[in-house]
């Protein structure tokens, strides 16, 4: 049996899982591994002769068939991948940021050199999502995706809910446990989920979504009071990555917190678990859920891509045609201010006659109907917290309402996922 020869760039958590797991397969062989520090103690033992601290030793090695890039980031990863493709190598990557920012250039280059780029691990860790969309679901017209794609933020929101704790306290705990980075910005400000939904929307809609057009809002302003009030109203708060495409090729792609109805399956995706809800025709709606990160779950997706290449390698002149990029159009981006949503507002207002009527009047003047408005108690400073849930309305209009609520402080403005 002729083995598929692998070059690995990156031997961190995922890279170590890939290295360990590939030892169980006889049809693949890891030839060379590029690491940042040759003397670092690792959880996996790699023969010294296979290690290098220069990734160009991997991408320029003529004996290597597939380069597996697991280092992350755009640069210098992009130059390594570009060089590998120019040298005739297939690519497997888990690099969600590079895909989101350089995807068009990457896939054009791969087609130019007749090489395949596989990236199952880049979107939802161990959850198979790219290959199902491109194969089993290929006969569907997918028009909506709603997903939980970041385990760190989902863990924080779940713990805030379970413990009644503040965002700041739970973040510190998550950092201690290793669920959050020392600098958690990429997760808690929604960048990670935005990278992923950019690529996922592009694949599902067969039209390119641009990362710079994705609206992004993180979870740093979510208060424990919002979590509590959402529960009372029949919701859970989740960071949702969503994408919808209408019949005119208009793509609304975004990441932000949402109040998710408790009868929606996404409301019950807790801690570090990820989930993707896909809606299309004729399938209807399906949910794929599982571990969205971690050494072996993510390694599972990487290995699946490697083995897909191994099965067809040297059997055809055009490898894995269904997994290649077939879209060349760009989706029309929809600005967040032009979208229609339901909203949750938490307003601190003076405990005075007519305040609730004032809120209702300002909303009515903007053609915004209220689903519910609730005041619970009076604070020692004679202010009251008023909770408002609107009916579906234009984002631009709700922002105008917020700016016109003089004498009141809007503590939270969170979009609400529609039921059904």
**Distance (Å, rounded) from C-alpha 332 to C-alpha 249?**
6
**Contact in structure between 209 and 201 (CB atoms under 8 Å):** yes
Residue 117: how many CB atoms within 10 A of its CB? Answer: 23
For 41, counting Cβ atoms within 10 Å of its Cβ (0-12 exposed, 13-18 middle, 19+ buried), the class is exposed
Q: CA angle at residue 69 from 241 to 292, to 5 degrees?
A: 35
**End-to-end alpha carbon distance in the chain:** 52
| Closest among 24, 14, 16 to 40, alpha carbons compared | 16
**Residues forming the active site:** 196
For 24, counting Cβ atoms within 10 Å of its Cβ (0-12 exposed, 13-18 middle, 19+ buried), the class is exposed
**Distance (Å, rounded) from C-alpha 78 to C-alpha 74?**
6
What is the bridge-based pairing of β-strands 66-69 and 141-148?
A: unpaired
**Distance (Å, rounded) from C-alpha 320 to C-alpha 318?**
7
How is the beta sheet containing 90-93 ordered, strand by strand? Answer: 51-52, 28-34, 4-9, 66-69, 90-93, 117-118
**Distance (Å, rounded) from C-alpha 294 to C-alpha 151?**
10
């Amino acid at each position: 049996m002729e083995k598929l020869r692998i070059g690995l760039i990156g031997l961190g958590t995922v890279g170590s899982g890939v290295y360990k797991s590939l030892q169980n397969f006889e049809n693949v062989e890891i030839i060379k591994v590029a690491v940042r520090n040759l003397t670092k103690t690792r959880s996996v033992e790699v023969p010294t002769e296979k290690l290098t601290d220069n990734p160009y030793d991997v991408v320029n090695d003529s004996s290597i068939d597939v380069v597996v890039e697991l280092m992350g980031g755009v640069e210098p990863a992009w130059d390594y991948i570009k060089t590998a493709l120019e040298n005739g190598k297939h690519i497997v990557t888990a690099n969600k940021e590079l895909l989101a920012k350089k995807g068009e250039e990457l896939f054009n280059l791969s087609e130019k050199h007749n090489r395949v780029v596989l990236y199952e691990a880049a979107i939802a860790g161990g959850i198979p999502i790219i290959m199902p969309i491109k194969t089993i679901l290929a006969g569907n017209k997918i028009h909506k995706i709603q997903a939980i794609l970041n385990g760190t933020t989902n863990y924080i929101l779940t713990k805030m809910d379970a413990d009644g704790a503040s965002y700041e306290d739970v973040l510190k705990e998550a950092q201690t446990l290793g669920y959050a980075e020392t600098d958690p910005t990429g997760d808690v400000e929604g960048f990670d989920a935005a990278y992923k939904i950019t690529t996922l929307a592009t694949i599902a809609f067969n039209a390119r979504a641009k990362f710079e057009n994705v609206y992004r809002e993180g979870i740093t302003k979510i208060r424990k009071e919002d979590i509590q009030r959402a529960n009372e109203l029949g919701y859970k708060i989740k960071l949702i990555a969503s994408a919808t495409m209408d019949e005119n090729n208009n793509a609304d792609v975004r990441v932000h917190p949402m109040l998710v109805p408790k009868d929606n399956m996404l409301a019950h995706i807790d801690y570090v678990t990820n989930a993707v809800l896909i809606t299309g025709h004729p399938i209807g709606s399906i949910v794929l859920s599982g571990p969205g990160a971690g050494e072996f779950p993510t390694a599972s997706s990487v290995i699946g891509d490697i083995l897909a290449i191994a099965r067809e390698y040297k059997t055809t002149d055009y490898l894995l045609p269904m997994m290649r990029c077939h879209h060349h159009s760009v989706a029309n981006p929809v600005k967040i201010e032009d979208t229609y949503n339901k909203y949750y507002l938490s307003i601190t207002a003076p405990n005075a006659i007519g305040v609730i009527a004032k809120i209702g009047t300002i909303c009515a003047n903007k053609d915004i109907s209220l689903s519910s408005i609730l005041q619970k108690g009076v604070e020692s400073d004679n202010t009251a917290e008023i909770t408002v849930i609107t009916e579906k309305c234009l984002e631009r209009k709700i922002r105008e309402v917020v700016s016109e609520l003089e004498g009141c402080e809007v503590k939270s403005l969170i979009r609400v996922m529609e039921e059904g």
